Amino acid sequence: MPLNLQERPIFMIGAERSGTTLVMALLGCHSRIAVPEVVWYYPRFYPYLHTYGDLSVEANFRTLAQEMVFGLKTPFWGMKVNPRTIVDEVIELAPERSFAGLYAGMHLRFAQYVNKPRWGEKTPHNLYFVGPMHHDFPNAQFIYITRDGRDASVDYMESSFGPTNIYCAAQSWKRCWNAVKEWREPLREKGLWLDVRYEELVREPEKVMRGVCEFLGEDFEEGMFEFYKTDMCKARGASRDHAPLGKPISDKYVGIHKDLLSLRDQRIFAAVAGKELEEAGYTNTVEPEMPSQRMVEKYLEFDGRIRAATLDGFEGHIVFESYNDWLVDQREERRKQGLWDPATSPKVFPAGDPDEEYIIGLRASDKWKKHFSIKRRYVGDVVL
């Protein structure tokens, strides 16, 4: 059943490389808002909840709780906890015996840890699950961060995850933009949706964050701009992919596509996502040029190959990928045990979608991981 929490949850969404982490860091420094690291709970668990069986059965509910609690990329979100009791603590805090209840319980546990009354969460691909999230948390507020798709594509292609060429990057950005279209106005009318443009945020941070706080019903606090001094931002800032988080807000990353995308790549982006770019309020400055079908096939194949081959490379995501793969294996084990049957189970988005693996958070497809014999790797004290 829907959960109307007294302190309304805050969901920060947007295409990856669009400034969602910056907003997460800013709001996480508000004295009333607890924002942990990303969780990917809706993409990773929601489409496959039927594979756990009846959650009113204690064993099934506990299995889901264990996989959620122990599957964080940052173990326990950095909380100092007793691994033997943390699952029980989260279950006790869960408002109901459901996925949404566990989701709330986990965030309430973090909010308790940092001594704040309200919680928020940032996972970019939650944008594909706005409908279920609004159903589960009817009074939750959504903040959608938009960035020029050409700049986001540059960051994507230079990062250690995500699309590796302009065609695939443009397709990803386009799909993210279109995924929330049906929800933007209905939720805005309810006072539950706010659009934030990355370029305005980094150029006029105080003005934009005052607007964000007004939307959330919170007082504006200057201390939010001290985000780069937090442990989370220092850790992320030490990596190449998130280096800007280790410093105060800067607008130096606005318009980077003009220098870092070739003219041909800009034309390809315009052909693939030009319509959506203009809908988002940006101006196309080049004539569109769609690659031939043969080139499109090459872009898609090489993207798959590179994603898999670089998983265990420089700042790769092999550990997190390994856990996501393990979740897939666990679903198969439950099928063998008879907890669910593909023939009679519901088909929930994105199951069966061509981009299913990427939407749920995998950084490479199973096909290419097997092709390159990518070995799984677990580190730390994660209990599986």
DSSP 159-211: SSSS--SHHHHHHHHHHHHHHTHHHHHHHHHTT-EEEEEHHHHHHSHHHHHHH
67-70: list long-range contacts, CB under 8 Å, 24+ apart.
67/327, 67/330, 68/41, 68/102, 68/103, 68/106, 69/106, 70/382, 70/383, 70/384
Residue 104 has pLDDT above 90, yes or no: yes
In tens, the pLDDT along 305-340 reads: 999 999 998 888 898 899 899 899 999 999 999 999
Q: pTM, whole model, 2 decimals? A: 0.95
Is 13 strand, coil or helix?
A: strand
Mean pLDDT estimate for the chain: 95
Q: Which residues pair with 120 in a beta bridge?
A: 10
Beta-ladder partners of 193: 142
Q: How many other CB atoms sit within 10 Å of the CB of residue 223?
A: 12
| Mean predicted confidence (pLDDT) in 204-230 | 97
Q: Where are the alpha helices (DSSP H) in the chain?
A: 20-28, 41-45, 58-69, 86-93, 99-113, 130-136, 149-158, 166-179, 181-189, 198-203, 205-216, 231-237, 257-260, 263-279, 293-309, 318-336, 356-359, 366-371
